[in-house]
Amino acid sequence: MPITLLVLIPLLPLIGFLINGIGFRHIPKGAVGLIGSLAALGSFAASVAVLLAFKEGGSQPMVVSLFDWIRVGELNIPFSFQIDQLSLLMLMIITGVGSLIHIYSIGYMKHDPGFGKFFSFLNLFLFFMLVLVLGSNYVIMFIGWEGVGLCSYLLIGFWNKNTDFNNAARKAFIMNRIGDLGFLLGIFTIIHAFGTVEYTEVFRQATGLPVGDHVVFAITMLLFVGAMGKSAQIPLYTWLPDAMAGPTPVSALIHAATMVTAGIYMVIRSNVLYTLAPETLEIVAVVGAVTALFAASIGLLQNDIKKVLAYSTVSQLGYMFLGLGVMAYSASMFHVITHAFFKALLFLGAGSVIHAMSDGPGGDPQDIRFMGGLRKKLPITFITFAVATWAIAGLPPFAGFFSKDEILAHAFEHNKLLWGIGLLGSAMTSFYMFRLLFLTFFGSFRGTSEQESHLHESPAAMTIPLVILAIFSAVGGFIGVPEALGGTHQLAEFMSPLFDAARQVSPEAFAATALTHSEEYILMAVSVAVALIAAAVAYVMYISRNAVPAPESEARTGLENVVYHKYYIDELYDAVFVKPIKTLSGLLASFGEFFIDLFVEGTGKIVKGLSNLGRQTQTGSIGYYVFAMVLGVVVVLFWNLLLK
């Protein structure tokens, strides 16, 4: 495989970033969009070429060393890329969905004065994300990990004249720092335990360790803390809903399809280590399941179209971690892929709605209480959005059905309680998604009449990516049709070599599924039935009865109030962490200022007072100086001749 082709994958977005970043305000808008999108498309083409070469070369994983980076004593960290099934799948998602979102942004951000800035940041994000998945060791992954965090910060706070948006950006960054600390400590522990950070070397050594090794438990837990921050799991999830402050394509690319799945990528990459630590997997599964249910329940009552999708993302990420926790690694990756399609599509569709709504003056263009009946005005958006809703709700035959069902089936096998939580969350998912669909596209328009007259379908640059993503959301599931439905699960077969080492350390955990086909049918039927019932409830509530969520001013009672206010988690964090730290640092600051001022200013004052005395002797009169000089000579002579 030509190395240049491989290097081009991350290099093209970097070049795009440099051109658009340095030429910001000088390059005309048309060229900016073209450069940014071409960089992404070029990267996609290179990824496809690498994938083909990889398949031709017998699907052998390979490490391409670019240069020596850090060499300290025994530790040697090369800058090298690893190509295997996992990184290729991630490459395809990142560059493929990324390219579509770049094209979409040309239409969506057209009237924004920061057009060039937006594209350069988007390219920079792609670069870091590609470095993250291409790196062949944990330190290079960490470069990408931090880089995407930076880009996320820059893009959430893209409209930086709004203080709330800036605060959201800071919140995302700080929350991620907490996770990053765990990740970093995990890397240090790996270096301490294995003396290297290269994946191949670490995993080779790890296969010699017994299951339940304490060091591996520590490593996996620390790495999982990093994943919690990046992939928005309880307790570090609160940044993701706030991150919706960024432009909608950013929410689609970074906060739905790619960056937030970095945690899942990391766990799958380290599958050997996680397989060696069943306790960690147990924690991962519980955190994932609880997050899936918790976030879904918040999503039930949200009225901001993007907030609903944000909580839905947190919830779906929870499903992926649930899958990882029950060792269904390839099922989780499957859900990453399908989720990237339908969630990016949902966000882009929401962007198309917001685009139409914000043209006329009126209320909040993101509030579904002011929408309704949009299906006639935005037919393409409506159809694609409906496909994505069908897919995320887990209804056959669209993508979400296959991936979510596979995770739930593994959860059922592992622990019935986790499966129950997952199923309940899945019902909620179906309800809030159909609620969103019905409130937005059905019924009659509830905004201002001026808004209504301005409603229009988005330009082709925006609808074409919608259509493409809708096709993938519809058929994407067919890469992983389970055996029970007469498929061969090509994805699981493709990814199988990744888990060879894990299979070696814990063969029983990878034993073929104990579920019979009839059990699998029942499980599928149950989850489909639950999703259909939830959808029907949503239909009755929001179409038959025409209910509209209560306005902000209306008082809510009991549980509804608590859920509507997101369980007051933000307020809780504010009271427990933010306020005490602020008070403490305020106290320390005033103390420090007092003592340091005392010392610094005291020194200054003493010097000033002494010099004030000293300058009295400088009278300017020559006679006085001469007298002083003579007196000095006399004193010196007196001292030398008479006293000695």
Partner 1 sequence: MQEPSIPDIIQLIPLKSYLILSTALFVIGILGVLIRRNAIVIFMSVELMLNSVNLLLIAFSSYKSDPSAQVFVFFIMAVAAAEVAVGLAIIVMIYRNTRTIDIGFLNKLKG
Residue numbers of the site for partner 1 (CB under 8 A)? 614-623, 626-627, 630
CB-wise, 72 or 642, nearer to partner 1? Answer: 642
**DSSP tally for the chain: helices H, then strands E:** 27, 2
CB-wise, 557 or 616, nearer to partner 1? Answer: 616
Contacts of 591 (CB under 8 A, 6+ apart): none
CB-wise, 486 or 614, nearer to partner 1? Answer: 614
CA dist 638 and 194 (Å) reads 79
CB-wise, 567 or 625, nearer to partner 1? Answer: 625
Least distance in angstroms from the C-beta of 579 to partner 1: 54
CA dist 311 and 240 (Å) reads 8
Least distance in angstroms from the C-beta of 162 to partner 1: 57
Q: Residue 271: how many CB atoms within 10 A of its CB? A: 21
Exposed e or buried b per residue across 68-92, where buried means at least 16 C-beta atoms within 10 angstroms of its C-beta: eeeeeeeeebbbbbbbbbbbbbbbb
Whether residue 235 has a cis bond before it, omega within 30° of 0: yes
Least distance in angstroms from the C-beta of 631 to partner 1: 10
DSSP calls for 217-242: HHHHHHHHHHHHHHTT-TTS-THHHH
Least distance in angstroms from the C-beta of 574 to partner 1: 58
Least distance in angstroms from the C-beta of 617 to partner 1: 7
CB-wise, 544 or 618, nearer to partner 1? Answer: 618
CB-wise, 174 or 631, nearer to partner 1? Answer: 631
CB-wise, 73 or 623, nearer to partner 1? Answer: 623
CA dist 3 and 422 (Å) reads 43
Q: Residue 552: how many CB atoms within 10 A of its CB? A: 11
- Nearest Cα neighbor of 321 from 295, 272, 294, 282 is 282
Least distance in angstroms from the C-beta of 622 to partner 1: 4
CB-wise, 621 or 640, nearer to partner 1? Answer: 621
Least distance in angstroms from the C-beta of 624 to partner 1: 9
CB-wise, 4 or 618, nearer to partner 1? Answer: 618
Least distance in angstroms from the C-beta of 643 to partner 1: 21
Q: 272 and 505 in contact (C-beta within 8 Å)?
A: yes
CA angle 307, 310, 315 (to 5 degrees): 130
CA dist 378 and 459 (Å) reads 11
Exposed e or buried b per residue across 30-63, where buried means at least 16 C-beta atoms within 10 angstroms of its C-beta: eebbebbbebbbbbbbbbebbbeebeeeeeebee
Phi and psi dihedrals of 36, rounded to 5? Answer: -60, -45
CA dist 150 and 138 (Å) reads 18
Phi and psi dihedrals of 367, rounded to 5? Answer: -90, 120
Least distance in angstroms from the C-beta of 621 to partner 1: 5
CB-wise, 28 or 632, nearer to partner 1? Answer: 632
Q: Residue 591: how many CB atoms within 10 A of its CB? A: 10
- List 81's β-bridge partners, or say none: 64, 135
Least distance in angstroms from the C-beta of 603 to partner 1: 21
- Around 171, how many Cα atoms within 13 Å sit in the side-chain half-sphere? 24
Q: Which pair of tokens denotes residue 523? A: 């499980």
Least distance in angstroms from the C-beta of 610 to partner 1: 13
CB-wise, 210 or 620, nearer to partner 1? Answer: 620
